[in-house]
Chains A and B, each alone.
Chain A
Amino acid sequence: MRKTFLSQNPSVMWFIAFLGLFTLAVAIGSEATGTGLISTSMVKTLGKTLCLCLIAIAMDVVWGYCGILSLGHFAFFGIGGYAIGMWLMYARTEGIVMTSLEGHVIPPTPQEVQDAIGNQIFGVVGSSDFPWLWAFSDSLFLQLLMVVIVPGLLALVFGWLAFRSRVTGVYLSILTQAMTLALSLWLFQNDSGLRGNNGLSGLQNIPGYEDTSQATTSLVFFMGSALALALGYILFAWVVSGKMGSVVQGIRDNEARVRFLGYRVERYKLFIFTLTAVIAGIAGALYYPQAGIINPAEIAPIASIYLAVWVAIGGRGRLYGAVIGAAFVSLLSSWFTGGGAPAINLGFYTILWTDWWLVLLGVSFVCVTLFFPKGIGGLFDYLVRKPS
């Protein structure tokens, strides 16, 4: 079945092939393999970009295919990051605490170990007790499960409430934005149990692999991200092709018609919303160990809007468009804001791109919406179809 599906969708094959070559090239060029053509920080940036591409295709499915402009998918991304971050932080702190307690005449009791870890982690918010949220943080397996379950469950409950009462269009967008806002405000509180605005940090250190260099770790995560993107791409391409794709796009174009054809539109929306939320959570769980730190500002509503911007610029309704958009805009953004772009001297005024990049992005975004509703991906389509 997979075979027929792939042969029917050559663009998926092309994408996987390209991604494979790209991964291979980065692996060869990375410091971990000794050539050192690509710096470790660059490998991390590329790995993070792949994660952003993964959430971008999720966003594309939910918005470009199903027509739900969710301004909340970055919240799911963040939840995934927090879920894995809890384990990373707990396990690493446990290691540090055990080392510091070693050699004492009287061996520590489990309670003492727990208290010391709690003190280390929650000292910054003036607490030392473990909140109930951290109940499973000592188990990698359970926290990995959380990466999938928490975003999925939240999306399921929220989506069920919203779709059941037939909130659609702009209202739904604002509702998802409200959800994101509520989540980030909650996380900003010190007593949320997730270290308030300090967030979780030190996530780049993988417990159990303290002796492994960051060059190797980052390459492993890069390849992991590439694999996740490839699998995610195939999954979504499979979902949006065939009859499911027909129904989902039908919902986007004319919800009432689909309903009168006898499809329970709410269930389909819920399925898509939840599935993409889970993938967003996975993307986040891969992203934040590479970023090293996660804090509530990452989840602010603006992040989810940027996600929509990437997909729109890349081109909605085509998965590779979302990948192009996310990669292009996020890399360009870090180039501009990182001071990589040369300043332009107008004689009377010097344009510093750190100041003007957002203006440029905003204006170009308006232009894309107005003049190229199909985005960069649409241009790509045009070029590919031209010769035939």
Chain B
Amino acid sequence: MFRHLLMLLCWVGIVGAAQAQDLQPVLQGHAEEIAKPSRSSVSVALDDLAASGAPQVSVFLEQWQDKGVWQREADGVFFFGTETGDDLTLRDIDTGAESSAPTNGFSQLKPNGGVRRLIGTALVQFQLTDPDLARRQSAVDSIARRPEADQLGPLRASIEAEPDAALKARKIQLTNFLSASFGDTSEERIAAITSMATDTSIEARAVMNQILSTKTATPSQTPSGNVARVLTSGDDLSQADAYAQLVAAGLAPTIISAAAIREALAAHVVGGRVGGIPTSQLDTDAGRAKAYAALAAAGTVPPLVTELDQQSAVADMNFYEVYDEPDSAVTDAARATLDSIETRVAAAQTVDLTLDALSLASIYFLAAIGLAITFGVMGVINMAHGEFIMMGAYTGYVVQLFVPDYTLSIIIALPLAFAVTFAAGVVMERLVIRHLYHRPLETLLATFGISIALQQLAKNIFGTQARPLTSPGWLDGAWVISDVIQISYIRIAIFVLALLFLGLILFVLKRTRLGLEVRAVTQNPGMAASMGINPDRINMMTFGLGSGIAGIAGVAIGLYAKVTSEMGADYIVQSFMTVVVGGVGNVWGTLAGASLIGFLQKGIEWFNPSNTLAAQTYMVLFIILFIQFRPKGIVAQKGRAAAD
């Protein structure tokens, strides 16, 4: 009924806008409800206001909601008023004529929160056709936030005249949601529900879930109502829970808990005995049951509900859940639609997970590729690799201290981080590593020494708290493909960076003189030396290159994670695993290792989302087992050299 009125009203509002109509009389007709509104009484007044069709209604409602309406105490006439000192600037509601008066003779209308919300709901109808796009937008948003049955009519009516295409689509979607929930006939609702089968938005799912909301029904012999699910005792429902339902429905006596038995016994101790049984024998459940049974037999306590009682009470009852929605055709349609949506959501989640895993793999690749170069090409384990990553990140932080423009600072930081860590790597190679070739375990330990020294040094210089490395504004936010699939720009940037590095390293190793010499030294240092290649220089350059890449990885990692002195340690073990799993001495191997570990970690996290620690544990265990079966990694070095 009300809906038809509203439709009429809207029609009137559009066609007969010019028709001047005074609002004040309508207001006076409901003076009592408007001046002292309550949630229960105000709706009649709001209905009549809306029905009046006066163009001022929406302005009045807004003012009323914002406490901008005053009532003259003398005759009860309403005005729009603004308080200035002791005076009020008044505006006539119908003519808009301004006047001034002292505040004394007027009282401000202060509707409470509940009433303001009702006013807001009424307002939405007017705002939906407001000429201002922003207001229409906000009206639609407010409906989406709190969908109600009476909004369906105005919303539907406003679609036709909506000039903005995007907003129109949104209105249609919202109309569907509303008619799915509040449509007049089952057919209308089912049609709306069915039309949502491809809508994976969270809202659509919420609408479906709301239609499908269930409650536990009172257990009975024969189920009645729109039954959602019959629970079989033992499978869906434990016997204790089933019995608890019976108790809650008043169909069975309460179970006497172990604690209650204890209290009852303690309350009835007579001369060191309870029900004739000495208290010293009450330290077993059997003893207590016996004593309690004696008390129950004497009628001092309610009888014990035994396991058997529970069983028989539960046995001849049906336990089931019913839909709040009584119409089974609607719930069936909603179930089918939700299933279809969920299939789509699952597919979208798979895509999302894949993207997530890809970006994690990029990070591992960036962190590990420098290590792969030093470890794979030179056979040198660099435990300080993580600290080079940290050094790169701090370089980025320091650059940002001097260059406030984030885009520029990142552009400066990337090569600078490379330069800093390249230099650090070369210094380390010259001072330490060079003396330890062919003693890999000693290298491991010496570089570990460097690692703890560097870590503590960073702590002494930059302090223990995390330092920010802020990404430029254009990297903020995320690329939202749907409600389910979204990926932050920063991760895309890291992915691109990883790709760039893959290309760059392949280019350096395969297409440049340095790469040729590096490969020569790797395969046969003696022969390379006799061909005029200086292995010393090559080792130095290789180590510098590996370290430099770690520095750049540090900047990239610092952009999305925090910069701390311990950040390197977080990546070092994973980086080693990446290299080892992938296969030593091969860029593609590192890529494969990073992908495997990235995808694996995301996959395990997906199975067990609440517990990332468990995910890491399982991942490490998997890697240990993996190395058992492929000790040389995914991309194994081949040939006779690999046999040893």
Contact = CB atoms under 8 A, between A and B. Distances in A.
B627 A358 contact: no
Contact of A162 (B274, B284, B620, B628): B628
A68 to B, nearest CB: 10
Contacts of B453: 358-359, 361-363, 366
A361 B460 CA distance: 15
B435 A109 contact: no
B614 interface: yes
A197 to B, nearest CB: 10
A112 B265 CA distance: 15
Contacts of B266: 104-106
A362 B454 contact: yes
Given A186-B617, A355-B460, A107 B279 contact: yes
Interface in B252-309: 258, 262, 265-266, 269, 274, 279-280, 282-285, 288
Contacts of A370: 432, 435-436, 446
A229 to B, nearest CB: 24
The secondary-structure label for the interface of chain A is: helix
Contacts of A108: 283
Interface stretch (A120-128, A168-176, A232-240, A320-328): A168-176
Contacts of B627: 165, 167, 171, 175
Interface string B596-631: 000000000000000101101100110111011101
B452 interface: yes
Interface of B: 258, 262, 265-266, 269, 274, 279-280, 282-285, 288, 381, 432, 435-436, 440-442, 444-446, 448-457, 459-460, 569, 573, 576-577, 580, 611, 613-614, 616-617, 620-621, 623-625, 627-629, 631
Given A161-B628, A171-B631, A181-B620, A366 B613 contact: no
Contact of B450 (A111, A185, A355, A366): A366
A358 B459 CA distance: 11
A189 B608 CA distance: 13
14 contacts: A106-B274, A106-B279, A111-B285, A164-B628, A171-B631, A173-B444, A174-B573, A179-B620, A181-B573, A302-B569, A309-B448, A355-B459, A359-B456, A362-B452
Given A105-B266, A108-B283, A355-B460, A366 B449 contact: yes
Main secondary structure of the interface of B (DSSP, over half): helix
A182 B617 contact: yes
A301 interface: yes
A309 B283 CA distance: 56
B610 to A, nearest CB: 10
Interface of A: 69, 104-112, 158, 161-162, 164-167, 169-171, 173-175, 177-179, 181-182, 185-186, 188-189, 191, 301-302, 305, 308-309, 312, 355-359, 361-366, 369-370, 373
Shortest 4 CB-CB contacts between residues of A and residues of B: A362-B453, A365-B449, A358-B456, A182-B620
Contacts of A179: 620, 624
A177 B573 contact: yes
A62 to B, nearest CB: 12
Contacts of A112: 258
A165 B628 CA distance: 6
Nearest to B435: A370
A178 B613 contact: no
Given A359-B452, A359-B453, 17 more contacts: A106-B282, A165-B627, A167-B627, A167-B628, A170-B444, A173-B381, A174-B573, A174-B580, A185-B617, A309-B445, A362-B452, A362-B454, A365-B445, A365-B449, A366-B446, A366-B449, A370-B435
A167 B632 CA distance: 9
B613 A170 contact: no
Nearest to A167: B631
A359 B576 CA distance: 24
B154 to A, nearest CB: 50
B446 A369 contact: yes
Contacts of B269: 105-106
